[in-house]
Amino acid sequence: RKKNRLSLAQYKEGILSGDRIILSRAITLVESNLQEDNELSTQLIDELYPSTGNSIRIGITGVPGVGKSTFIEYFGKYLISKGKKIAVLTIDPSSQKSGGSILGDKTRMNELSQDKNAYIRPSATGDALGGIAHRTRESMLLCEAAGYEIIIIETVGVGQSETSVKGMVDFFLLLMLAGAGDELQGIKKGIMEMADAIVITKVDSGNENAARKAKKEYENALHLFPPNENGWLPKVELSSAVDGEGAQEVEKLINSFIKKMKENGFFDHNRSQQAINWMHETVHQYLRKNFYNTPVIKENLPKFEEDVKSGNQHAVKAALELIKKYKA
């Protein structure tokens, strides 16, 4: 394993020169559970930090089958045709539980993944969501240092990872279907509320009228939410990857959002707020891990769990007792 690791300087130079193989290896380092790897990746990110932050960070979510990978491939190719370099990072929360994955055993974004101006990376699996989110953030910074100007973070819209993704992007896009009988298709209201825009997918093959109707409905639904403090009214766009419609409109929409946020100061405000939250999350994660790895806690936990389970001990009291032992 050890000989697989490059030196800090090798990672750094490779990434800054846009070497995709080294970028991939650095992301693997970020995703590693080994302490030495974590130390090295923290150092690496620290060194690369001045070269990060220059991208537009876009979160994309939607239920399985809505057309995320098709849209990202189509939209990504459009952006590349306009001279951009894009990176796509996917978070797949399902894989932890089932061992399988919603996002894809199938090959996704085939054409895009072969384009030299695109970099596609599925998330590592089998870790707590907090861990995945943390790693995705760091991977995003590595992609920025490697020169990717647009970072797309894709997640399945099933209500687990969206909040973390919202917490690391500038713009949050929700994909929805038209006329799928809905009740908003199992998309939770809270996810709609996070969206800066909704894109209705598959607006083709006779689906056009239903899509226009859905557009009105979604617009109405969005306008019922309390206004965003950043002054942005979420928009609804139509798209068809099959007919090649919508990419230009979505790009315009994102550009006007970014322009407005930069003008009114919310772009920087949002990013610095996210950085503060990230710091706190890192502290929480560290403390939690540290707590459960402490010998006295490891030793006592089974008994406490047993007592709480059997009703011998009240949960909060048990927690406080454990903390007392930890601090002692």
Stretch that binds ligand GDP, among 24-32, 117-125, 132-140, 198-206 (CB under 6 A): 198-206
Quick check: 186 and 63 in contact, CB under 8 A? yes
Q: If binding is defined by CB under 6 A, does position 107 make contact with ligand GDP?
A: no
Task: Tell me the site size for ligand GDP, rule CB under 6 A.
Answer: 15
Q: Of how many residues is the chain composed?
A: 328
Please state, in angstroms and rounded to a whole number, the distance separating the CA atoms of residues 4 and 15.
Answer: 17
What tokens appear for 296 in the block?
């006295």
Which candidate, 169, 175, 199, places its Cα nearest to that of 187?
175
Please state whether beta strands 150-156 and 197-200 pair in parallel, antiparallel, or not at all (unpaired).
Answer: unpaired
Q: If binding is defined by CB under 6 A, does position 202 make contact with ligand GDP?
A: yes
Q: If binding is defined by CB under 6 A, does position 204 make contact with ligand GDP?
A: yes
| Distance, C-alpha 128 to centroid of its chain | 14
Stretch that binds ligand GDP, among 59-67, 183-191, 287-295, 314-322 (CB under 6 A): 59-67
Q: Whole-number minimum distance, CB 298 to ligand GDP, in Å? A: 41
Q: If binding is defined by CB under 6 A, does position 65 make contact with ligand GDP?
A: yes
What tokens appear for 39 in the block?
């130390």
Q: If binding is defined by CB under 6 A, does position 244 make contact with ligand GDP?
A: no
Q: Which of 15, 45, 57, 62 binds ligand GDP (CB under 6 A)?
A: 62
Q: If binding is defined by CB under 6 A, does position 242 make contact with ligand GDP?
A: yes
**C-alpha dist (Å) from residue 207 to 64, 70, 213:** 19, 17, 10
Q: Which of 240, 266, 267, 318 binds ligand GDP (CB under 6 A)?
A: 240
Binding site for ligand GDP (CB under 6 A): 62, 64-70, 201-202, 204-205, 240-242
